[in-house]
């Protein structure tokens, strides 16, 4: 009965919110914010897209004054281009993408977070598919995502350097904040690395596993702060991490690993009897080499992007409805999703590290280890 009563109350609240939103949407009059609900929806959509995209400046927040003029609070980042030579200048020349930057007689403009070469008027030409056709110089700038990765790298170096020092001074006993991170390090070693790779070969993979776990975890946590960063929701970043896993797996693979790929049935059957089976099995095994890192990058990218989209949309509902009922429900849902995202931030770092260790375990497996593993399964 209590559960049915709760469901009815939530249904009434959601219905009331929908009616309120419907009334606002059909109203042609301006609201307190000076915009119709349709315009507010468009503002929220642009806000979410801007949050997901990488930028050449680090914007903290923006606001409009009494005259309706927008003001952006943040700081510029260095723009580094290669266009018949090295061009280095501040992103403040773009004025948040609103103006054209002039450098050594060349003109550049930002369009959809990408820098194009243009004229003094900032003309951008498009093809029939609405893709810019202007020359795009090589962009190696320090963007917001790169800035956060550098900041996370410095934080990790300082943190684990102090942890190593406390170990050396106190007889392998962590002090201070190291007491919080020590159990995590031991868990990655014992329950991820050793469990999936084995005690003989896990040590050479530990530096990467520890680095990638804390790197993803810290970046995910930064993404939940008001700084507005979405590094792990950038498919270019997750692709680079997956490529590193692919390279380590490929170049550390033993002969037994490669033999299993090209001879999955082993030596127990003559080639004449298994050649037709191999026509199907071998291509699947080869595809698996590339599908595994692809699954890594898509899983991390999709989960983090979806979380930011949902959270940004729920917060935007407060601005769209502009009613106490809609704002209260939106705030409550956004708060609940934020708590879930804290767990997801840690969970995605754990899953990426676990799967990477699993792939490394496949690559480092030897014939003796495989026989031992098969013996354990038969014993069970």
**Cβ atoms 75, 58 nearer than 8 A:** yes
Query: Cα(92)–Cα(232) distance, rounded to whole angstroms?
Result: 26
Q: What angle do CA 194, 195, 201 make, to 5 degrees?
A: 35
State which of 111, 142, 173 marks the end of a domain: 142
- Quick one: 152 and 296 in the same domain? yes
- Quick one: 185 and 273 in the same domain? yes
State which of 127, 142, 157 marks the end of a domain: 142
- Quick one: 282 and 253 in the same domain? yes
DSSP for 154-204?
A: HHHHHHHHHHHHHHHHTTS---TTHHHHHHHHHHIIIIIIIHHH-TTTGGG
- Quick one: 168 and 190 in the same domain? yes
Which helix (H) or strand (E) segment is 281 a member of?
helix 271-321
pLDDT at 374 (0 to 100)? 45
pLDDT at 27 (0 to 100)? 39
Query: Cα(133)–Cα(139) distance, rounded to whole angstroms?
Result: 16
Phi, psi (rounded to 5 degrees) for 224: -95, 0
pLDDT at 173 (0 to 100)? 76
pLDDT in tens, 200-210: 899 999 999 99
Q: What angle do CA 353, 355, 356 make, to 5 degrees?
A: 65
Q: Examine the pLDDT at 296 and tell me if it is beyond 60.
A: yes
Q: What pTM was computed for the model?
A: 0.80
- Quick one: 242 and 358 in the same domain? yes
Query: Cα(9)–Cα(17) distance, rounded to whole angstroms?
Result: 12
- Quick one: 120 and 166 in the same domain? no
Query: Cα(249)–Cα(246) distance, rounded to whole angstroms?
Result: 5
pLDDT at 273 (0 to 100)? 60
Strands 78-82 and 86-90: what pairing?
A: antiparallel
Dihedral of alpha carbons 124, 129, 133, 139, sign: positive
**Stretch among 105-109, 155-159, 219-223, 227-231 having the lowest mean pLDDT:** 227-231
pLDDT in tens, 67-85: 767 777 788 899 999 988 8
Domain count, the chain: 2
- Quick one: 98 and 154 in the same domain? no
pLDDT at 359 (0 to 100)? 95
Which residues constitute the domain of residue 93? 63-142
pLDDT at 378 (0 to 100)? 43
- Quick one: 132 and 149 in the same domain? no
pLDDT in tens, 104-121: 889 999 988 889 999 988
State which of 142, 164, 192 marks the end of a domain: 142
């Amino acid at each position: 009965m209590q559960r049915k009563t709760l469901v009815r109350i939530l249904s009434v609240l959601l219905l009331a919110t929908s009616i309120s939103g419907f009334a606002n949407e059909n109203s042609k009059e301006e609201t307190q914010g000076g915009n119709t609900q349709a315009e507010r929806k468009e503002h929220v959509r642009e806000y979410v897209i801007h949050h997901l995209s990488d930028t050449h400046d680090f914007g903290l927040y923006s606001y409009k004054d009494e005259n309706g003029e927008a003001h952006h609070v943040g700081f510029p980042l260095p723009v580094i281009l290669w266009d018949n030579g090295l061009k280095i200048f501040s992103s403040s020349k773009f004025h948040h993408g609103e103006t054209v930057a002039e450098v050594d007689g060349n003109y550049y403009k930002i369009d959809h977070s990408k820098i194009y070469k243009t004229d003094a008027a900032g003309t951008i030409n498009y093809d029939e598919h609405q893709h810019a056709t202007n020359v795009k110089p090589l962009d190696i700038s320090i963007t917001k995502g790169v800035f956060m990765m550098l900041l996370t790298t410095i934080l990790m170096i300082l943190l684990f350097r102090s942890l190593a020092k406390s170990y050396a001074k106190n007889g392998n006993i962590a002090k201070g904040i190291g007491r919080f991170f020590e159990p995590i390090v031991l868990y990655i070693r014992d329950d991820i690395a050793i469990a999936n790779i084995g005690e003989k070969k896990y040590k050479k993979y530990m530096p990467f596993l520890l680095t990638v776990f804390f790197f993803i975890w810290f970046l995910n946590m930064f993404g939940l702060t008001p700084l507005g960063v979405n590094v792990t929701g950038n498919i270019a970043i997750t692709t680079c991490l997956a490529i590193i896993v692919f390279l380590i797996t490929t170049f550390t693979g033993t002969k037994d690993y490669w033999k299993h790929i090209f001879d999955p049935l082993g030596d127990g059957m003559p080639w004449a009897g298994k050649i037709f089976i191999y026509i199907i099995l071998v291509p699947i095994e080869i595809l698996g080499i590339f599908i595994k890192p692809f699954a890594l990058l898509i899983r991390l990218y999709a989960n983090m992007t979806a979380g930011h989209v949902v959270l940004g949309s729920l917060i935007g509902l407060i601005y769209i409805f502009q009613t106490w009922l809609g704002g209260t429900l939106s705030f409550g849902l956004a708060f609940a999703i934020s708590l879930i995202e804290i767990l997801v931030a840690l969970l995605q770092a754990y899953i990426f590290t676990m799967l990477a260790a699993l792939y490394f375990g496949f690559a480092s497996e030897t014939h003796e280890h495989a026989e031992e593993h098969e013996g354990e399964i038969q014993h069970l």
